[in-house]
Structure 1
């Protein structure tokens, strides 16, 4: 191996210079016109003679140093025995190549073009599919011609008892009211209230609201199908009411909604907004047999529709969504809150749009806070008088109507000519009504003014009798309120059997000994409860010493009942609340119940409590209460048929028998 001593380096440099000079001389020689054949020791005349090493091997060609574009070599390239020249220079920082924005921009542009192409292609495909489906569906739609003639055609729905006796005819010609009036004879307040409540973009959209539809679809998606309603415009409601069959109206399918939207678009194309609004306001149902706004104004306020005030208009505009629920005579608190909601919607729209435009008034309707407050107070302080209708067992009829609306679209119920066979036994109903009246009269000295009664067939869940109050038409006792279904009230000692049933499941028997003696309990049942102790007393203000569980329940002693609840617990899988829920009591939803729950410290409805007792009478099997046996349409086609279920075994049959046996004790 050669070294890199200074002498060697000097020799290399001299040899490198000689090679350069030799190459220069070779390049200066003339070049023959015709090239000669190369020989091992002679180079081609038109090219420099290559240098060779000591063994005769050719060395790399060199070029003149003045050629700035030539490859520069060191002497090591010409002598394989020499070492490369090493020059020591400070190291420089290696820089990464800068980002090529132009190249990246080009890639991004190509990607955007491709994505745009894909989106446009998909849009065209979806549009083609949509157009095809549109014409396919539209080909089978009813005509939107002459909607006014369609609006006057309807069939009366009849509610019957189980024996086929007519209890009530919805839209009875002798009781129902409908008077068609033109839009210019309707109060602008009512028009503004209807638009704010039902369809605030009525004058702008093409019959349907795409944004509202997408919002409803999104709600339906994220709620798993539990939600998603509220996207129907006024025009869609009109199309559904007048152009779809009763069976189709009750369907909640994509096809039905699509047909409804197409019909609404066609109605908008062929009718003016004023025509649509006039038809809607004369067609919609406002409850209490009032069809159309004129009949509603007469029914509720004894005046014409053109005389309605702001408060009255907001009241009426809130009714059509659920007429049997928003019934001022049966559910006054709920109905008044609905009117206040309508006023809030009017105020919000007025603020958003700088007053509400209505086509039948020269000036827009402006609603400020002061006007809304006065309108709310007007309805809240008004004394409404129920219309006198030929209705037998009115509480029952109203309850059946509410059940129908839960199963079908309200417009379908009130227009479709249904015959509804209910579970009510008229003979038992008459007896029940008389019993309630007699008992209220007998207890008048104790300031009892009202009462209710429910009778259920345990094996099928059929409600055979329901008395909601002592007198439906007695406003002094709020007789229109159905005390059998709402509001919920404390059940008193009637909940004690549920407590003992829970104890029997944990090993107690009717022979379990309990001590009816003065006792103190932590209010919640927890030993760590810091509150003052709960000290129950018996209704007779006496203590009865050691008693059997059978005796304690049969005599409704309070102290043993509290001890029983302390044993089973209020909450938990084996507690009283869990037992009540299994028996059908859904109203016990609070999380702060204590030991007083077994003495009636929670609110339930009479119908729920009757259903719970039916479980004891049915061997521990629960069959939910039912009101409707069968529904047929005006053509005799069966729409609904109740099939009694076998029921769910919610408690053991022997425990149900023991409770029933104890409750039958008369001594």
Structure 2
């Protein structure tokens, strides 16, 4: 009886378990499905948020993005502007666009395969497969940037092209994430609109290769006196690294240029484009580089560059910064300047002869400048910024006539002092002034006791004679009567653009302040003829 009871209880338990198991597993399945569904919803939400965020960023930047087709417009052939002398017969300078510059456009099939491969291994080895930007390189750049380093690097060939052509010049050097985002968005659009070969062709034609060479054809002409299609492996690998750092070109920095050529050759070896023996042979090959000054086609460089800058400022004032620059460099303008080449050459020879004579007499002089202005019109007829523009040892390319803050004018400043005194009624040309030892207060410094150049005193002299003989003591006495501020005001009215009235003392009349020689030439022309325009002109 007991045994039967145990059996019945066991059967009931089994029955309850069997009834419970389906409900248990059904509940467990529901929980699992709910959990999986929750995870999926979360993942989809995150993905949606990312997509929404990306779209939001894209939309916010897309509003202000330049038109990507502008990159095609920029490739349309253009005519450079030219500066002429006053006769209109001699071209002084052909003006180059600072982005496209001295350029002869070439098609991609004219560029040797080795040049193309060298650029790809150096700049963007995934160029033909990426969406316009190098995901790996960009990610690596941002990773390093997050560690506190500069926001740079990781730019594909397409992005570099965008930066050179579409991004405004003022924004190119700014290390901002916003600029990188703009580049990426534009790179995607340009990759969608144009073939890769077309993009690479534009890249070769717009890069800066240093030494006023823009585009690989100009670079081939500048450095090797040949067309791009004639370039060899050593020449290709010398040129292709230059756009990264244009100053490290074989003319300005041979050692670094050679080092970078070696890097390009080794990259080609790593990508199995060339063999190691070919790389060694190319690196050992002795290249013949043409000095820049032999092909810098510019006549009277200091005057031409000064005239260019003056015209550029005028164009930007009239048409705005961007349009003014475009018109000057790409508008095909013919600009007739005021320079008289006969007078210019004579002035240069006079300056050179003067320096030669001084050096023969053991005077420490190495440079000189000359400015000649027509008083009635303010035209600059001659401007010699140094005796030799190409003299690197003495900074010959610096235009001494116009460079800030100028040079001390010596006693040539005295006329402004005397003119101020005459205007204010303190003296006349006949006024007697005592040329004797005098002491002038110069607080908080000790009293100022000037001396004449001959270390003598000449007693009572008329003002006109004191000026003609360049006596210092009468000039200082007159400066004290006129007031330093008033003399500086006179100099400013006559064309001097330097001098700070709060800085100078009585020694200013002896040339103790810096002025630009071009300002002095104009100011002295005022004595002969007042120019109502108030400006000296090169055009």
TM-score tier (shorter): 0.5 to 0.7
Aligned to 2:446: 532
Residues 1:393 and 2:320 aligned together: no
Aligned to 2:413: 495
One of 447, 456, 464 as aligned partner of 2:381: 464
List aligned pairs for 1:324-403, cutoff 5 A.
386-403=293-310
In 2, the alpha carbon distance for the partners of 1:611 and 1:565 equals: 22
Partner of 2:447, secondary structure, is coil
Partner of 2:437, secondary structure, is coil
CA distances 1:54-112 after superposition (whole Å, capped 9, x unpaired) = xxxxxxxxxxxxxxxxxxxxxxxxxxxxxxxxxxxxxxxxxxxxxxxxxxxxxxxxxxx
- Whose RCO is larger (CA < 8 A, sep 6+)? 2
Aligned to 2:508: 597
In 1, the alpha carbon distance for the partners of 2:84 and 2:502 equals: 42
Residues 1:238 and 2:162 aligned together: no
List aligned pairs for 1:219-618, cutoff 5 A.
235=162, 238-239=165-166, 267=190, 270-271=193-194, 279=202, 282-283=205-206, 288-292=211-215, 295=218, 306-307=237-238, 313-314=244-245, 316=247, 386-406=293-313, 407=315, 409-410=324-325, 412-444=327-359, 445=361, 446-487=363-404, 488-508=406-426, 509-523=428-442, 529-571=443-485, 575-589=486-500, 591-618=502-529
Name the TM-score, length of structure 2 as normaliser: 0.56
In 1, the alpha carbon distance for the partners of 2:122 and 2:494 equals: 49
Distance 1:386 1:426, change over 3 A: closer
In 1, the alpha carbon distance for the partners of 2:420 and 2:463 equals: 13
Q: CA deviation at 1:556?
A: 1.2
CA distances 1:140-190 after superposition (whole Å, capped 9, x unpaired) = x98866x6xx63723243221111122335279xx9565866775349989
In 2, the alpha carbon distance for the partners of 1:438 and 1:605 equals: 22
Distance 1:188 1:166, change over 3 A: farther
Q: CA deviation at 1:589?
A: 3.2
CA distances 1:385-427 after superposition (whole Å, capped 9, x unpaired) = 6454343212212222222333355554343322111011122
Partner of 1:475, secondary structure, is coil
Consecutive unaligned residues of structure 1, counting only runs of 5 or more, are: 1-126, 192-200, 205-232, 242-261, 320-327, 330-359, 363-383, 524-528, 629-667
* Equivalent residues of 1:502, 1:576 under 8 A apart: yes
Aligned to 1:151: 75
Aligned to 2:118: 185
Higher helix share: 2
Name the TM-score, length of structure 1 as normaliser: 0.47
Aligned to 1:626: 537
Q: CA RMSD in A?
A: 4.9
Distance 1:500 1:299, change over 3 A: farther
Question: How many residue pairs are counted as aligned between the two chains?
Answer: 373
Partner of 1:456, secondary structure, is strand
Distance 1:543 1:265, change over 3 A: farther
From the CA coordinates, give the structure whose radius of gyration is larger.
1
Distance 1:297 1:497, change over 3 A: farther
In 2, the alpha carbon distance for the partners of 1:286 and 1:311 equals: 5
